Structure 1
């Protein structure tokens, strides 16, 4: 039975976030002199604009999740956690049946919940805080942060950005492990996914 699993805002949030993160990674690498494309000054300005847009998007997404109750989708659980880890490591390559069935009330499997929780509660806030400190660097003395030095902030921001890159690569890889391979991507574009009748009721 085909049902609407991902609401319009979820899809907008997902793809807008993806576009902004890709843009931030590209400009971030250029700022670190990994290559030259836009030029340093343009890359910095673009990085700042996209970072502020992403923060605004995240804040709105947090509001949406709490007002709709969708935050419950991210509550971690250990049930079938090991089974899902084993499935992603070995089972899916042996064409084994997935040990978790998606439903409207539980869209994410236990491993996804844990990964998204780490992304939302650890990686993202570290990038937020370190990035804003970077941006407010000229005002540190007025903010009482004169004791802080730029080097550790830069290291933390870069480390969090690489953690986000690892998450992004893993996310894209797993997005193409459906049957057929484009199943999950198609669902995130249309919002609709095939669920059993019982699971479709939530």
Structure 2
């Protein structure tokens, strides 16, 4: 086992900011739906709108970062060992079986994670963002006959946005659970805080050469 610097500063910043914004959007979104009362309806709407703009800005920066650093390649899906990975999470890890894939700097995501995260970026996130923008600016679009041309009732947009939000929340819940499946319950969370993680095979060394032997 060796400890490798695997998550860069911006990667960790983007990850935690995105998580915080998603939770805050869920909180204010539920209040807008009158599930509970915390900020008050008007403030909840204002906070929800502001948080959505911040998330859009963060997504724009993260897309730029992924493409300029080549990190987008991490999300290229592969079906190699996908079935073995699913079996590991459902049965194997409870029997103490070894992990079917080896994590490295160049391969941070296992086959199942790559497929799920790609689905998040290409389906869930766009679904919530586009429906949210349509909902916020429905009157502007309607005045210009844009929504009429698309023939999308406001009620449908609201349903699509809410469905996307529940899918997003489900993704976050599963993601939080999966962080507990490392060498210890807190291993993966610590890695996303410090950037360092214990890997079984440390063939990949970052450009900074930041690699050190585990203290364990």
* Range into which the TM-score falls when normalised by the shorter chain: over 0.9
Matches within 5 A, 1:1-202: 1-147=2-148, 148-196=152-200, 198-201=202-205
Cα distance in 1, alignment partners of residues 178 and 200 from structure 2? 22
Shift of 1:143: 3.3
Taking the aligned partners of 2:26 and 2:93, their CA distance within structure 1 comes to 30
* Alpha carbons 1:178, 1:184 under 8 Å: kept: yes
Unaligned runs of 5+ in 1: none
138-147 or 96-105, larger mean C-alpha shift: 138-147
1:76 and 1:152, CA in 2 relative to 1: closer, same or farther beyond 3 A? same
> Contact (CA 8 Å) 1:30, 1:37: kept in 2 or not?
yes
Q: Deviations along 1:118-172, whole A, 9 cap, x unmatched?
A: 0000000111110001110221233322423210000100010010011011000
TM-score w.r.t. the length of structure 1 is 0.96
Moved more, 4-13 or 88-97: 88-97
Q: Name the SS of the counterpart of 2:46 in structure 1.
A: helix
Residue 195 of structure 1: how far off its partner (Å): 2.4
Structure 2 residue ranges without an equivalent (≥5) = 207-216
Q: Cα deviations across residues 85-127 of structure 1 (Å, max 9, x unaligned)?
A: 1111111111111111101111000000001000000000111
Q: 1:146 to 1:106 in 2, by over 3 A?
A: closer
- What is the SS of the residue equivalent to 1:17? helix
Matches of 2:56 and 2:132, distance apart in 1: 10
Q: Structure 1 residue 32: deviation in Å?
A: 0.7
Structure 2 CA distance for aligned equivalents of residues 34 and 179 of structure 1: 38
Looking at structure 1, the residues matched to 201 and 115 of structure 2 have their Cα atoms a distance apart, in angstroms, of: 27
> Helix, strand or coil for the counterpart of 1:140?
helix
1:43-87 deviation digits (Å, cap 9, x = unpaired): 111000001100110011001000110000000000110111111
Q: Distance in 2 between matches of 1:133 and 1:181?
A: 40
- How many residue pairs were aligned? 202
Q: CA RMSD in A?
A: 1.3
The structure whose RCO (Cα within 8 Å, separation 6+) is larger is 2
